[in-house]
Amino acid sequence: MTERLSNATTGTDTTENGAESQEPAAARMTTEGPVYTVTGGDWDDVISEVGGDEKIVMNLGPQHPSTHGVLRLVLELEGETVTDLRSVIGYLHTGIEKNTEYRTWTQGVTFVTRMDYLAPLSNEAAYCMGVEKLLGIEIPKRAEVIRVLLLEINRISSHMVALATGGMELGALTAMTAGFREREEALHLLEFLTGLRMNHAFIRPGGVAQDLPADAEEKIDEFVKTMDKRLPDYDKLLTGQPIWQQRLKGIGYLPVDACLALGITGPVLRSAGLEWDLRRTDPYLGYEDYDFEVPIAHEADSYARYRIRVEEIHQSLRIIKQAVKKLEPGPVMVEDKKIAWPAQLSISSDGMGNSLEHVRNIMGQSMESLIHHFKLVTEGFSVPPGQVYATVESPRGELGYHMVSDGGTRPMRVHVRDPSFVNLQSMPAMSEGGMVADVIAAVASLDPVMGGCDR
């Protein structure tokens, strides 16, 4: 019989004639039980060596494109069947909630916009609505309509990333290139309207930072026509595609009772048949005056969530068309100079900071106005003591801000109910008992953004 010499450092076996043979699955003990390191050989041989009742623990992540961030899923497998799934979060933690306590109420916008970075304007809107509730003020009508415009353009941009990355994860690379092409159209428009592609800090307490450019309506109309022309291509590319349907239908099933038990909102909840959209059920920013539909489905699977997002893009375009018609001349910031900052803003030629004309205007008014402007920028405005909860319907579900003021110029506490954080609870229910390949489709159907989850 050939004598085998175990080589502990290399994990290989050496026969007496010097030939090396690798063990198919070397085992080592961990706190989770035995872990098998596969070093070669046929998969059937590996399974037979592991043993009948043994399970394989596999790490999916902690980086994976379908999560829009850094997420670790610990999977326990029997063959290719998922028997246990645990989500591990925190890799993208930024401490944004705590940071807002050390900034003025206006400066907080620049922090919260970086949480869910695919829907920054939803964060800005919810945060500013909370501040405005505490202040007891109403923003001008034009500012309200501008916010709706920006939110719906941003919703289209976010859903396009969901379609693009979801397609990429399942091998539909054309879906990825097409989806990001359409997203670029939305980001170009947002850059034209606000000055930035992402992390805009454009929505401010009391209104918006500045009025829209002179030819904004023409640019918005061009965007709507482009999207109306290109959206039918997704039905040809994905909706009716047999492979796409086979990969998504019946995958990630989560019925309405499970959604309600876990607090799931957004397209995932609407895919289970419940017509819950805060723009309709608890209107804000005048959404009750817009004519649009809330798409729902009853299959409660990944394919239904895909179809809902495509239809929501159509409905957002419908809202945008109505919002453009509602744009009437008027202020875009409250008249109270103790809150409005900047009350007037004129961007310089390099696209950064105030123009020289605006600086001369501030400097030339009076010493008192200059001092007031300086104090408003450096110290901020005081907000009456109290607490409030403000919500918006983000592309991923209910985004809520619980804000507490002690009467000072900075928040005492800002706590965010981010839908990505809540929706991730559903991953075990959606994936356990299914195949490991279907975990990817289930995660993509949630469309989680870890910047909001790990805030």
Peptide bond preceding 62 in cis form (omega within 30 of 0): yes
Q: Identify the residue whose tokens are 């000072």.
A: 408
85 in a domain, yes or no?
Answer: no
| Residue-level pLDDT at 276 | 93
Least confident of 9-13, 108-112, 226-230, 258-262: 9-13
pLDDT, tens digit (0-9, with 9 covering 90-100), for 233-257? 888 888 888 999 999 999 989 999 9
Report the pLDDT value the prediction gives residue 19, as an integer from 0 to 100: 45
When pLDDT is averaged across residues 379-389 and rounded to a whole number, the result is: 91
Q: What is the DSSP letter of 70?
A: -
| Cα–Cα–Cα angle for 83, 84, 88, rounded to 5 degrees | 155
The more confidently predicted of residues 128 and 455 is: 128
**Does the structure show a pLDDT above 90 at 453?**
no
Check residue 141 and give its pLDDT. 95
Q: Please check whether residue 425 lies inside any domain of the structure.
A: yes
Is residue 20, in this structure, part of any structural domain at all? no
Q: Which two tokens stand for residue 53?
A: 């009742």
Cα gap 120→251, rounded to integer Å: 29
Residue 240 sits in which domain range? Answer: 96-339+381-453
The per-residue pLDDT for 40 is 57
pTM exceeding the 0.85 threshold for the entire prediction: no
Measured CA distances, 136 to 139, 209, 293 (Å)? 10, 19, 31
> Which are the contacts of 446, defined by CB distance < 8 A and separation ≥ 6?
252, 268, 396, 420, 423, 424, 426, 427
Both tokens of residue 381? Answer: 């405005």
Place of tokens 């928040």: 411
Q: Assess contact for 241 and 163: CB atoms under 8 A.
A: no
Residue 167 pLDDT exceeds 80: yes
Residue 153: which pLDDT band, with cuts at 50, 70 and 90? very high
- Mean pLDDT of the chain, nearest integer: 84
Q: Which residue has the higher pLDDT, 148 or 91?
A: 148
How far is the CA of 132 from the CAs of 281, 374, 389, in angstroms? 21, 22, 11
Q: Is the pLDDT of residue 353 over 60?
A: no
Amino acid letter for position 388: V
Q: Kindly state the tokens that stand for 66.
A: 């379908």
- Cα–Cα distances (Å) from 114 to 23, 67, 128, 367, in that order, read 48, 16, 15, 36
Q: Which pLDDT band, with edges at 50, 70 and 90, does 16 fall under? A: very low
Domains: count for the chain? 1
Using omega within 30 degrees of 0 as the cis cutoff, is the peptide bond preceding 140 cis? no
What amino acid occupies position 312?
E
> Does the residue 421 lie in any domain?
yes
Exposure string over 310-328, b if 16+ CB within 10 A, otherwise e: bbbbebbbbbbebbbebbe
Label residue 84 by pLDDT band (50, 70, 90).
confident
Answer yes or no: is 91 within a domain: no
Structural domain includes residue 353: no
Q: Identify the CATH number of the domain in which residue 217 sits.
A: 1.10.645.10
What SS3 class is residue 322? helix
Mean pLDDT calculated for residue range 262-283? 93
For 196, other C-beta atoms within 10 Å of its C-beta total 15
Q: Give the residue with greater pLDDT, 277 vs 22.
A: 277
pLDDT at 365: 66
Q: Give me the pLDDT at residue 430, please.
A: 92
Please name which of 319, 327, 316 lies closest in space to residue 288, comparing C-alpha atoms. Answer: 319
In a domain, 412, yes or no: yes
Sheet of 12-15, strands arranged across:
4-7, 12-15, 20-22
Is a pLDDT exceeding 90 seen at residue 320? yes
Alpha carbon distance 37, 19 (integer Å) = 21
Residue 322 lies in a domain: yes
Residue 380 has pLDDT above 90, yes or no: no
